[in-house]
Amino acid sequence: MERNPPCSSRLDPGIILALLVALVVRPVLYTLITPVYFNWMAGGSTPRSHWWPFYGWILFWEWTPFGILCWALRRSGRRWSEIGIDWSFFVRYRIAFLVVLAVFTVAAVMAPRFLYRGDVPRVSQTYSFLPVTGLERVVFLTAAVSAGICEEICYRGLPLRMFAGSTTQAWLVLPVTMVSYVFIHGRFGASHALYYLIWGLIEGGVFILLGRRRLEWLIIAHVLYDSLLIFSP
User: Cα(196)–Cα(179) distance, rounded to whole angstroms?
Assistant: 8
> What's the rounded mean pLDDT across residues 223-228?
96
Q: How many domains, in total, are found in the chain?
A: 1
pLDDT recorded at residue 21: 96
Residue 1 in domain? no
Residue 6 in domain? no
Residue 8 in domain? no
Q: How far is CA 142 from CA 93, 136, 139, in A?
A: 19, 10, 5
Residue 7 in domain? no
The pTM (predicted TM-score) of the whole model is 0.90
pLDDT recorded at residue 188: 85
Residue 5 in domain? no
Residue 135 in domain? yes
> What's the rounded mean pLDDT across residues 154-176?
95
Domain that holds residue 108: 13-231
pLDDT recorded at residue 70: 96
Question: Where is average pLDDT lowest: 92-96, 113-117, 226-230?
Answer: 113-117
Percent of the chain at pLDDT > 70 equals 89
> What's the rounded mean pLDDT across residues 97-107?
97
Residue 103 in domain? yes
User: Cα(71)–Cα(23) distance, rounded to whole angstroms?
Assistant: 17
Residue 1 confidence class, pLDDT cut points 50, 70, 90: very low
pLDDT recorded at residue 112: 93
